[in-house]
Amino acid sequence: VGWGSATLTARLLYVDPTAVVRFQYMPEGGTWVSTPWEGWQGSWYWYPLTGLQENKKYYFEAQVKYGGQVYGGGIRTFKTLPSRPYAITLKATEVDDSSAVLNAKIYYGPYDSVSIRFWYQTGGNWMATPLVSEYRGTTYSYRITGLTANTLYYFRAEITYGTTSENANVETFTTFTSKATGMAYDGGLGFGSSPSGWHGVRMTPPSGTTGLKLELLTSSSFPAHHTLRVVRDNGELLYVGNILSDKGRSKVVSVKFWKSTAGESVYVELYDPYGFAYRTKGTKASLGGTTYAYSYLDRAGKNLKYYDRACGVNVLEVYT
């Protein structure tokens, strides 16, 4: 897919040698246009389209005709790209009481690079992060520090290409009130005969806890979505969300609860369809309590330090 073009593809399952195939396509809100019928004997058929509208959603369907009947393969969609660069402001991550990581996704269009920075504010004057020139990555992140606790922040990405500067959409985040100390774990990771399922820790955070900073360990380094949840002992959900593991096998995230804790135990769990891990006791002075180091097992129970099917959660910080 380009900004004025796309190549439509279909897998052909028919066996009638007299069959012919084509595509129908239309822009959203428009009318259907048909490509010519063609005889085709291969398993895959493709047709290049040009002259499309840029930044526009299209519908398309492969059709095959034989025996006087036309059969459709189901309607799919695509969206053409714009002919200029743009940025999308993503959600902030690793938010705590005084810092946060701002994130953006970048599309370059016909340009090789752009300049990018973030602007952020609490409702007054906008403040800018340093401008990075000739940036070529598809995503960009920057940690801002010195933030005020328990405060709502607005932020947006800005890109510059040639002599043009454009602002992306505005996102928000709220810093936590303070970091808690003296937390301790109560239990081990979920672990059983099957390696798949929920894995995490049971802990008793201080009363009034409203969020956590976590290190997530996933079973594979390729990008995938994993469900993360924080659950009270009575089964009530304090947090649930899908986390994209796009930083290798380990990723740090911050989660904000729907309601604060009241001194009871909670389960912090990551769902992984493949991996598992168990923990050994250790200490971490910065948390003022007990933490754990991960060890990994294969299916035969052999202890492996770097096993590619391990999964778990490590609580880094607690916020009230």
pTM above 0.75, yes or no: no
Whether residues 193 and 312 share a domain: the answer is yes
Average pLDDT over residues 31-35: 97
Q: Is the pLDDT of residue 23 over 50?
A: yes
Please tell me whether residues 307 and 250 are part of one structural domain: yes
Indicate whether 57 and 112 sit together in one domain. Answer: no
Of the three residues 62, 79, 96, the one that is the final residue of a domain is 79
Domain boundary residue among 49, 79, 109?
A: 79
User: Per the domain annotation, does 75 fall within a domain?
Assistant: yes
pLDDT band at 295 (very low <50, low <70, confident <90, very high): very low
Q: Are residues 170 and 212 in the same domain?
A: no
Q: What is the pLDDT of residue 281?
A: 39
Asked if residue 11 is part of any domain, the answer here is: yes
Average pLDDT over residues 101-121: 93
Same domain, 198 and 238: yes
CATH number at residue 15: 2.60.40.10
The answer to whether residues 93 and 125 belong to one domain is: yes
pLDDT of 42 above 90: no
| Shared domain check, 133 and 30 | no
What integer pLDDT is reported at residue 269 of this predicted model?
81
Residue 201: which of 265, 263, 244 has the closest Cα?
Answer: 265
Residues 165 and 183 in one domain: no
Tell whether 233 is covered by a domain. Answer: yes
Looking at residue 275, what is its pLDDT? Answer: 54
- Rounded to whole angstroms, the Cα distance separating 233 from 265 reads 6
How many domains are there within the chain? Answer: 3
What tens digit of pLDDT does each residue of 223-270 get?
777 888 998 888 889 999 888 877 766 788 889 999 998 878 888 888
CATH number of the domain within which 282 lies: 2.60.120
How many C-alpha atoms does 297 have within 13 Å on its Cβ side? 15
Does 61 map to a domain? Answer: yes
Domain co-membership, 92 together with 128: yes
Q: Which of 174, 202, 235 is the last residue of a domain?
A: 174
Burial, 285: exposed, middle or buried (Cβ in 10 Å; 0-12, 13-18, 19+)?
exposed
Domain contains 1: no
Please give the residue range of the domain that contains residue 31: 6-79
> Scanning the structure block, which residue is given the tokens 């294969």?
298
Q: Does one domain contain both 57 and 140? A: no
Q: What is the pLDDT of residues 175-226, one digit of tens each?
A: 998 877 545 443 333 333 344 567 667 777 888 889 988 877 776 667 777 8
Please indicate whether residue 273 or residue 52 has the higher confidence score (pLDDT).
52
pLDDT tens-digit profile of 117-166?
999 999 889 999 999 999 999 899 999 999 999 999 999 999 999 999 99
Both 188 and 315 in one domain: the answer is: yes
DSSP per-residue letters across 132-173: EEEE--SEEEEEE-SPPTT-EEEEEEEEEETTEEEEEEEEEE
Which of the residue ranges 19-28, 42-51, 257-266 would you say has the lowest mean pLDDT? 257-266
Residue 291 has pLDDT above 50, yes or no: no
Residues 169 and 183 in one domain: no
